[in-house]
Structure 1
Amino acid sequence: MAHGVTDSSPMSIHQAVHGYADGHRQLALTAPLKPKDQKTLLALSDISGTGVRFEEDGYITGYPLTESGYYAVGRTWPATEFHRPGCVWTHTLLIEFSDLAVLDSFEWVLDVFRRPEDLGNAYLYSEPLEIQIESNATPQSVELGWCASVLSTLYGEPNKCTIAPRIGGGVDSTVLAIWSQQWPRLRRNFRFCTLSANDRSINGAEFDLQLISVSDRGARSRFSDVIVAGDFHLTGGEWLKYALDDLQSPDVDSLRTFLRKVGAELTDGRQAFIPLTQFFRALISDQSAVLSIQEAIEVLNKNGSIAQSKTLRALVVEKSISVIDQLNEELFSFVWGDLMLAPYELIKRFAGKIGAAAWCRDPSLVLDVIKSRDFNDDVNDILLSGLSVEQVISGLKQYPDYLKEILERRSEIVRSPDYWMSSSSIKESMNEVLRLGLQGEALIAMIKSGRDDLPLLAKSVFGANLILDALCKISLRCGHGARHGFDEWVQAAASDLKSVYEFLLSKQGISRELLFALARVIPPVSPQSYYENDPWLTAWRCSSGIVSEDDTIEFMAHMLARAFSSRPRFASELSRESFSIVYAAIVKNRISEQAWRILDACLTQSIIWWLKGRAEKIEHGVVDMFVERGLPPIDFLSLTRDALLFSRLVKYASQRKLGRIYLRRIMHFFKNDKPDFPVAFSRIVEEAIERD
C-alpha cells in the first residue's frame, strides 16, 4: 500500500483536457496553475512531433509543473475524427508533489485516463477526480534486455537525455515502473515521454527519458546531445541486477524502501542512483560484516554525490557497531567519527564494546575528548557510556583532575550507591553534584548507600525539599523496609518544618509511606503556618502507594489530632477526612497506644477529660469542636454515614444550649439547601430539636 494511502481514503486528483478547437487548446482544467506552468502543460499536451505515428492507445508524458507544485502525467491519443493531421486529445492527471511522495506505484494512472469523445463532453473533466488508489507496486512483466539497456544509460549517463526504442505492448507500464522505482525527490524532477518524434525539452528543462518509434528511421537525427540506450556500456553492473529484480518484483530486497529512506536528503538526481544501489548491495550482501562495511565505505568515498549523506553514514555505523572490535584502523576511524549518527538504543546496546574498542586503541581518545571538547557532548557521552562504573571510578582515582568533565558526561555515576559508599571526599562530591544539577539522582543513591553520616550533611548542601523528593521516589519504587537509613533521612528533612509544609502542598502523588513517616516525627500540634490549604490534608488527597491499615489509622489519628488545634476551615476538612476511620478503629480496638496518646493529648485540653470511654471522648471532642467553632453544617453531616453514630453525635450536641443552636443551623441547612444526605439524618436532628 502507499505510504500514507489506505483503501478507506480516496485521493483527490486534479485533471486537465486538451484537444483541437481551432488549434490545440485547453478544454478543461481543475487546478489553479501559474502562467508558466499553463504554457508548459499546453505545449507538452500537444503532439510529440510533426508526423509522428502512434497507436490508438497513444503514449504517456510525465513532467513537473514546479511553480504550481504538481506533477503532470498525461496520455495523448490521436484525434482522427477531426480529419486534420496532428490533432490529438490529451487527458492529464495533476498529482500534487506531496501526494507524489506517498505513492508506491503509478500503474493505476493507466486505468484513470479517459479519451474525450468530442468537444462537447469537456465538461466531464471540470471537477477533480476522487480516486480510490490501490498503489501497491505489483510484479511486472518486463523485457529485461530493454530495461537493462535503459537503466544502464539512464543512470550511467545522468547528465544526458536517454532515448530508447519504443518496443511492443506494455512499454508505457514499464516506463511507469521505472519512474515508480525512484525516490520521491527524483520522481518529482523526472521527465519522460513514451513516444517522441522530436526532443520535447522546453525552456531549458531537459527530458530524462524519451522513446522513439523503431519505424521512424530519422528520429535519432532530430535529437542532439542525447545518448541512445545500448550505446553506453557500464562495467561493474552488480547494481543492475538489484535494480532489475526490484522492477520485476518491487521491493523484493527492500531496495525501494531503502531509496525512499535515503533519497530525501540527496539533490544529485539520477547521478545518485547507481552508487546508492551499490551501497545497498554492499550492506545486504552475504559476505562477512567487516567486508560489507569496507565495501560500503569505499562506495561512499568514491562518490561525492552521496559521500556526505548522514543517512548513509549512519547505516554504516549501525552495521559496524556490533563488530567494532573487529574493525581495522581505517574503518574504526570512519565509524568513530560518525558514531553520534547511530540510534541511541543501538549505541546503548553495544556501549561496552564501543568503549572497550576505543580505550584499547588509544586511551588518549577518551581523555583528549574530555579535555579539549573537540567533539560535541553527544559523542562524548556515547564514548564514555561504554565504560563500567568501576572503570570510571578507577579512572577518577588515576586522573582526579577530570572529575568535573567525567561527571558532566557520565551523570549516572552519581546514581550508583557504590560511588557514595566508597567516596572519601563526600563534601567535595556533593558540591560538584550541586554545580552540575545532579542532586536529584545523587540523593537517591546516597540514601540507598545506607551511610549514616550523609543525611545532615546532605541537608546542609541540598536542602530538605530535594531530600523529601528523593525519599518519595525511593518509597514509591521500593517495598517497605527495603532501605536501610530511610528514617534517618526523614528525621533530617523534618527538622526544616517550613520546607516540609511546602513539599506537602506542592508534591503531586506523594508516597503515603513517606507521608506517614513524616507524621510520626512531626507533632500534629506543630506551629501553624498560615497557608491557604492544610499541608497534611493536601498531601493525603494527592498521595499514592500501598500501606497497612494500622499505618493508615495512625495517620488519621494524626490528622484528627491536628483538627483540634487547627483553624476552623482546616479543622472542618481534617475531621471530615479522618473521624470515621479513627472512630471505627477505636470501636474495634484497632488503634495503637501511640496513636491514642496523640489524640488524648488534644482531648484532655477540653472539658471532656472526665470521660473514660475512648469512643465517647472522641464523639464529645468532635461535637464540641464543631459546635464551639461554628464549623459548616455540611461538614458535620459528612462525618459519618452511620445513622446510629450520627444520632449519638446529635444527642450529645442537644444537651447544651450552644449545641442546640448549632442543630438548628443544621436543620435550616436541610430545609434551604436540600443536601444529598440520608433522610434519617434530617429526622434525627429534627427530633432532637423538638425534645428541647
Structure 2
Amino acid sequence: MVENNIKVQQTIHGYKEGHTLLSSSLDLTIGERKELQLLSDYSGTGIESSFSEYITGYPLSNSKYYALAKTWYASEMPRPGCVWTHTLLIEISAIWTIKNFELLLGAFKRPAKEMVNKKIEPIEFSISELSNRKLRPTPRQYAVSCSLYSNDKPLIIYSNAETEFQKDILTIWTYQWPRLKRNFSFCTGSIALRSIGKEFFDLQVMPENRERMLTRLDKEKFSFYVSGTKGCNDEILDLYKNQDPEVVLDFMTKFGSDLLPNKENFSLLLRAYAAMNNINSQEYVKIMQLLVRDLPLPSEGKLLKSNLVQLLFNLSPKNNFSLITSLLTENAFSELNWDFALVIFTSWTGKNLSEVQVLKLLELLKDSETNRPDFIRLLTTLPSNVWISRPTLYKAVLNDILTQNGELIYKELIWKSEDIVQDLWWSKITRIKNPKWPKIIDNMLEAENGRFSEEIFSILGDRVFEPIFQWLNRDNKILPLDWEYLIKQKPSSAFKSLSILNKYNNSQLSIIPKVLSPTEGAWFEVSDSDFERFFKKVQTIGDLQTQTSLYTFFTTTAFSNSVVHPEILSELIFQPLHNNLKGSIFDFHTWNRFKMLMGRDLYDMIELDFFSKLFKERNEVPEWDHCEFLRRSLISCFLKYKWDPYYIVQIVKDEHTFKKIVEFGVDVKPVKKILKQARQKLEENRLEKTFYYKILDKNL
C-alpha cells in the first residue's frame, strides 16, 4: 500500500443456485461471511421498480470492517428477487477519513454473470482525496438530521425513489463523529424492515406503499420523517444548520471519542458545542442535566465533562459549591481526574465559597479514598484557621498533612482552640524529632496558653526560659500565670537565661520583683558574673522606675545575705540605687519589702548597748529620707554579717554618700572601728590620695 493511501477490501454477492458470495479480495471469517450474505441479499419481497438499486451501510459484527454496499436488482436473472451487491469493506480505523463519499460511490461496479469466481483485488484510495471535500448540507438534510437525532428511535423515511434521500443520508453519515460513524447503519432502499441481529437499522428509506405493511406495534418502535419538512422543533438541532459542519465535526471528533455511539448523543454533543462556544445562553441547571442525566456512566464523555465543568465554573461562579458537591457525589463524575484542592482553594480565594461551604466540601473529600491526596493538599493550602478547629475532619490524615507541611505545628491558632484540638497536636509534637521548641513556646504564649508549660519544662529543663524572655522582649507583654510559675520554680535558671540576653524591656525585668522573692535560697546558685552581666545592661535602660525596682529588689537580696557574695552584689547596685533615690525615683512595692526586712534588723539592733546611739528611736529616720535609711541599712549589714570593712569603700562610689556614712558612724564605736579598718586597708594599698582616705582621716 502506498503511503497515505488506504486499502479497501471488496466482495461481490449474487445468484448462483441461491444468493451467495461470488468473489472476495480477502479471506472472510465465518461470521463475516454469514452477515455479508444476509445483508447483501434483497431487502424485502416483491418488486419495487423505483427501488431497483440502493446503498446500505453497516458495521460488521465482531469485525474490524465497516461495510458500504450498493445493491442492484438483477432482472436479467431467471429467478425473481435476485440481486447483485458490490460491498466495500473499510477498516473502522480509517472511517474518520471519509468525507468524499462520491469517490466511494464511483468505485461501485454492477456485477455480471461472468464475475463469478473471478479474482478481485483491494482498492486503494488516496487519503487526501477521500478526506478533501467540503459538503454543503441542504435544508432537507438538516430536517432529516433533526428527525434522526431528536430521539433514540430508529428513523424511517417514506419515499418514491431510492435516490431521493441518498445524498442527504450519506452527508449525514459523513458528518458523524468517528465512533458513531463506524457504528451507524442505514439503507436507502428497505423494501422491508432491516436489522442487524435484533437491532433495527438506525435509518431506512422505504417505498411509500410499504407503510401499510407495518403494524401498529412496529410503528411504535420507530420515528418517521415527514416529507416536505423544512424546520426542526428541537432548539439545539435547529442551531446546527447555522454552524459550519466541518467545525462541528472537529468538535464532535474531539469530545465524542469516549461517548457511546448512540445517535442521541449527537444532540448532546451539539448542546455541548453550543454551550462551549457561547452560541446560546444555557442555564447552569440545563448543563448539569446534560452532564449527569445524559452521561451517567463514569467512563463516558470524560473529556467533555471536564470541559463543561470548567465552563460552569466560569459561567456561574455563584454555583461553585453546588457544582463541586456534584463532582464529589455524582457517580457520573467519579472517574474525572479533577484537582479538587485547586478548584476549592481558587473558589474560596475568589470569594465564591464561604468558610462553612469549604468545611462541608472538606467533609466530602475526607470520606473519599480516591480524593484523599487532594484532601490533604487542600488542608495544607487553605489557611489553617478554616479547618484546624475541626479535629474529626483531619485527625486520620494529620501525619500526611505534617509530611507535606510540617510548619503547621507552629500555628498559634492551635493553642487558641479547644482542648481536644490542642491535645491532638500536642501528641504529634511530642513524637517529632527535634521540634522548634522556641517557636512552639512563642505560639503558646501568644495564645495565653499554659496547659503544657509543665510538660515542656520536663522536656527542656532550663532551656525553657530563654524563649520565654525572648517573647517578653516584644511589645511589653504580660506573662501568663502558668509560665510565671516556671520562673518561680527555678528562679536562678530563669535569671541566668535573662542575663545572657542582649537587651531588656520592662516586661522582662518586671517579672523578677513580681514573681520572685529577694530572699530565696536560689540566689545562692547565681554567680557574680551573672549578676555583673545583668546589671551592666540594666544600667542602660531608659526606664529609671524599673531600674530602681530591680536595684531595690537585689539590694534586699544582698542585705539579707541571700547570695554567695553579698558585698560584691552590693558593690554593683548600692550606689546606683542611692543615686536614684536621691533623685526621688522610687518603687513603692520593692521598697516596702526592703524596709520591712531591714527595719526588723535595725529594731533588733536597738536592744544592743553598743548600738543605742545609732538608733535611739525607730522613727528617727524620716519616712521621706530613703537615702538615709539605705545608708544605715548598709552599716547594719557590716555589723550583722561582719563584712570585710574594706568593702565599704568599694560599695560606696560617691564622695558625698561616703562622707554622710562616715560623719554618722564616727560617734558609734563599732562603726568607728570598721571605718578605721577601712582606712588601714587604704594605707596598705597606698590609696591615701583618694577621697575615701581623706574623709576617713579627717573624721577619725
TM-score where L is the length of structure 1: 0.49
**Is the radius of gyration larger for structure 1 or structure 2?**
2
